[in-house]
Structure 1
Amino acid sequence: MRKILWTSIAVVVLAGAAAGYVHRAAHRNDAAAAAAEAVDISPGPKLLVRSTADGAMGHLAVVSAADPRGPRKTSAVSCNRVYAAAGTAICLRPDGPLATYQIAVLGPHLQELDSYPMVGVPNRARVSADGRLVTWTAFVTGDSYNGGQFSTRVGVLDTRTGDLLVDTLESFALTRDGRPYQAADVNYWGITFARDDTTFYATMSTAGHRYLVRGDLTARTVRTLAENVECPSLSPDGTRIAFKQAVDGDPVKGWRPAVLDLATPHPTTLAETRSVDDQIAWLDDHTVMYALHRDADHADVWSLPADGGGAPALLVPDAESPAHLS
């Protein structure tokens, strides 16, 4: 089963060429491996980020959670998107010179544990709290959620077995507003996992509407919970979803960060007036963090109280794609 699924993906991504690049990716030179050893992503009071600093663009770095604007350790490993938990990281990165991409699973010292060809252009990445499951979203057509002319593909991998649990969520049974639903325009993106490694949340779009959905990896089912919810992120205590919501329901107008208590139907809009096009992460149970771009290449990570009060604060300059490693 595993071989069949991964072979089907490799065929889509230039077949033998992609397989060749994956083989080479699994045998990085010793110098790069030694450089990676200096950066430790095992659990602790620290943040993993993707650097956007000149001279270290795209490289993974770790900063102290107590002093996130202070010194950082920067690795030789680079990614387009990254996330980590429990000493496991997912790195979405280019795969050779053919404008293709790959999914790399990294260990506590950013050493490569495995890699796979990827369909599409990297966009979102998450890891379950215990490090077992990794997920990614890629644009298959289009390059933005803004405007609606795009198609996405979501995958979920079990890092312990190497099995591809989800190749496309479109194969799951979908219930919308309490009724079974099927449509050719259904898209999913931005998975976040609950601690049971079975329940997940994601965004589903269809017929011009975007929904928060709850899914079950074992039952292979998905059902809608709320509208105008994109790129969800489950809080550490499992009770709330941080997300971006389109202004007036229209992504062309931008997004504002918000938090939804899963026990209530009404979200809390957070105190950020700039447009946040990111899968928001949790710094702790009371604080969220997200990237804001200064230009096409440079970004900073900001933090914000999750209760709707306070004001945005610069957390990590010249960085994006943050993950709290505690």
Structure 2
Amino acid sequence: MARYIGQRVLVALVLIWLVSTLVFMVLHLVPGDPAELLLASGNTAPDPQAVAQLRTEMGLDRPLMVQYASYLAGIVHGDFGVSLRDGTPVAQQLMLRLPRTLELVVAATLIASVLGIPLGTLAAIRGGGLADRLVSLLASLALSTPVFVVGTGLILLFAQKLGWISAGGYVPFAQDPLRHLALLLMPAGTIALSLWAIVVRMTRASVLEVLERDFVRTARAKGLGRRRILRRHVVRNAMVPVITVIGLQMGTLLGSTVLIEYVFNWPGLSGYLVSAVEARDYPEVVGIVLTISIVFVLINLIVDIAYAVLDPRVKLAA
């Protein structure tokens, strides 16, 4: 197990290095001078002295390999430079906003998993029945409904009509735990809806596939109870592809919560990325993109380790 985890960690570190290098190369291969682009205003050419000063501040006047080494050293130490807008350290804003987006993604994933895995399993064991058809219909509706429509509908119902909760906003957990959880519920539930549909479909398909395997038939022939077969043999073996989908979707959600954070006024990382792009803040954009990429790689590392826990054959094959 330790060898398998060590291999996965090494692969994750290599991936992080490759992603970091790719971001660096893309930024330097794009035509145009970043300093000129940042200082450009309409059709007016920027002052050459201001461009030269900004290039010096950003380190763009140094040799490319020196820039690359400094860039990697900054990533290792968690230093992404300072914002060109207000001079605050980018890492400070990332540490403030990343937990908020992660909180949304983790809460949505928990909701989708807790509701999706049991319902997907139920649909599989009741294949072709009323429960199967009803769950499949609800999953199809959830997948076909855009998240901004769901979010707006929840605001209209629970905030405007019923008045049970505020339409959006953010309160730190330490300041008011109950209000924080109440404000988290609607955006997390909105994100969870489409993920729930994916989890339901994958669980149903995976359980149906496992139910047809020989070891399940053998367990039935031995007289084992239906619940025991499901709990000890079917569900555990069916979870590997389900966890794969959940892990990939979590990584995708990190960069796709822009609409939800905007609709519910949630000050997370995705909204920060949009404002950084609009302001053409080079250090902020680089820091956000790298942070999302690194978190995505770490999520996949956790998924790989979960494989080995659920299916010992995975670590034996490594």
TM-score normalised according to structure 1 size: 0.22
* Structure of higher RCO (CA pairs closer than 8 Å, 6+ residues apart): 2
Question: Which is richer in strand?
Answer: 1
Q: Which of the pair has more CA radius of gyration?
A: 2
Question: Which is richer in helix?
Answer: 2
TM-score normalised according to structure 2 size: 0.23
